[in-house]
Amino acid sequence: MTSRDKTAWGAVAIITLAGAMASAQVGKLPPALPLMRSDMGFGLIAGGFVLSLFNVLGMTIAVLLGGLAEQAGRQRLVALGFGCIVAGGILGALSPNLVWLMVSRLVEGVGFVAVTVSLPYAMVSAAAPRDQGMVLGIWSIYHPFGMALTMLASPVLLHLFGWRGVWWLIAALCPFVAWAALRQMKRLDLPAPNRAPFLPLALEALRTRGFQLIALVFFAYAFQWVTLMAWLPTFLTESFNADLGFAALMTALVVLINVPGCLFGGALIRRGWKPGPMILIATGVMAVSTLGIFLPGPSVGLRVALCLAFSFAGGLIPPALFTCVPRYTPSLRHISAGNGMLMQGSSMGQFIGAPLVAAAVSFGGGNWVFALGPMMGFCALTAVGGILLGRLRPPSDVPG
């Protein structure tokens, strides 16, 4: 990959939009979950698994998909990923029961990971060297941006079309976004597919200390952030009798505030901030906010304000971690596998987060203060990972 003189900002925007469309598959579910539970008659813990099953295959094969991107080519894997997203969306819209709904989420999850492990390398290819930190900061908004747009539109769309209609609509939009992203990728200086076996590449990535710590931090961070976003509509409606539309809107705003948080994190990286301190500052704010969100006493307004602080501060973590992938990679060939490890950690955190918090709340007789146990535990784990990552020295140079 050769360096560019100028950043291709159009490609940066469209590739980020493609990532956001993949993340819309995450954001479409929480506002629709109460309607799904009513339609299909399943409970809170089953709902937690519907939320988390999206990540099952992602948490097991993301590194392999990253290695496959090197062998098969990133464009092919992006096309395959969007194909899975469309197929999963259609299957979900036609699901007659909980079992088929869960299968559809598995298919969508494979597509999501295939897309999101392939696109970061394209973002780096689109950036001039001086802009790479900022561009990776922009890329890190794809997840909250895609989730927030879907959540903001959900109250109107769910009212007009029902949850199945929303699934059909998103599935219909995906091919257009995929075409635009693939068109931009063809114009970039992406390496040709490498026919070397991708399994050794994935195994080397798994043994890389820097990648292990990146995956650990994203695992612990995703557990907290995605779990709060997933259960916030239910928390507001069940604990405070909030209207579903109000709960969905507040959740969308909380997700959306993560976007300027990520952009702020990218700006800090460009100014020379180190990932370790950024992670620790973010974790401290998230811990204090979590206590205020779930402890008895604060008003609904104050809890929402604390959710906003939680999400904005959390936005510092993804750009710090995306920047760490090329910093700690053994070679350029390992970057996609490293992004796969990052996504694998994220998927694991998302998978166990929603059902574990649901189980804790159910154990407490429906009292959401019991969510503090797992949430604060993973706050501590994020801090430990940030400290270890801050102490780790990157390789002095990266062979091509």
- The pLDDT assigned to 192 comes to 66
Q: What is the mean pLDDT of residues 13-18?
A: 94
Q: What percentage of residues in the chain have a pLDDT greater than 90?
A: 33
Q: What is the mean pLDDT of residues 164-193?
A: 89
- The pLDDT assigned to 241 comes to 77
Q: Could you report the per-residue pLDDT of 22-57, keeping only the tens digit for each?
A: 999 988 887 888 888 888 877 777 776 777 677 776
CB 292 within 8 A of CB 236: no
CB 292 within 8 A of CB 303: yes
d(CA 193, CA 69): 8
Q: What is the mean pLDDT of residues 250-273?
A: 88
- The pLDDT assigned to 173 comes to 96
- The pLDDT assigned to 388 comes to 93
Find where tokens 């929480």 sit: 30
CB 311 within 8 A of CB 258: yes
Q: What is the mean pLDDT of residues 300-323?
A: 92
- The pLDDT assigned to 38 comes to 81
- The pLDDT assigned to 398 comes to 47
pLDDT band at 176 (very low <50, low <70, confident <90, very high): very high
Q: Could you report the per-residue pLDDT of 72-85, keeping only the tens digit for each?
A: 677 888 999 999 99
Full DSSP string of 249-263: HHHHHHHHTHHHHHH
pLDDT band at 385 (very low <50, low <70, confident <90, very high): very high
CB 289 within 8 A of CB 237: no
User: Per-residue pLDDT for 400 more than 50?
Assistant: no
User: Per-residue pLDDT for 224 more than 90?
Assistant: yes
Full DSSP string of 355-368: HHHHHHHHHTTT-G
pLDDT band at 396 (very low <50, low <70, confident <90, very high): low
